[in-house]
Amino acid sequence: MNIAIINGPNINLLGIREKEIYGTCAYVDLLNKYDEWAKNLGIEIKAFQSNVEGEIVNFIQEAYFDKFDGIVINPAAYTHTSIAILDALKATNIPTIEVHISNVNEREDFRKFSYIKEYCIKSIVGKGIEGYRIALEEMKKYLEETKWVI
């Protein structure tokens, strides 16, 4: 089972940016956690981060041709603006879970709307970086139950 973990703009600055909102774990340390969580769950992961919308669209398309089973994505600010990312997810039809580190529902109004939410099987919000672990676990469960992927 192969899951792509995609992060959008400024997630590479975790540990530096607004620590009171996003916590103190640096992005490199998050990458190590992904590996540890994947090992514990017995799944393969590939992590990707970009500050560029089109690169995220390209990566989603590649995930289709590389036959990824699932996507865990935090599009960051593009959550609230990007029809292109929504369209890429719809076009490739890969099961997707949305993650937000902070509780976007309790912040500014412009963060309350997510373009990709309608497509995602779940949205995990406000659980800090643990949200990614929960998303991997949920995705594994979903794929085992619905698609018979092991």
- Does 127 contact ligand DQA by CB under 6 A? no
The helix/strand count (H/E) of the chain reads as 5, 5
Asked if 101 contacts 74 with a C-beta cutoff of 8 angstroms, the reply is yes
Choosing from 33, 111, 122, 127, the residue that interacts with ligand DQA (CB under 6 A) is 111
Helices (H), 2-129: 19-22, 27-41, 53-65, 83-92
Choosing from 100, 115, 116, 143, the residue that interacts with ligand DQA (CB under 6 A) is 100
Catalytic residue among 100, 115, 119, 132: 100
Q: By C-beta, is 39 or 113 nearer to ligand DQA?
A: 113
Q: By C-beta, is 70 or 75 nearer to ligand DQA?
A: 75
- Does 129 contact ligand DQA by CB under 6 A? no
CA dist 21 and 101 (Å) reads 8
Catalytic residue numbers, as ranges: 22, 100
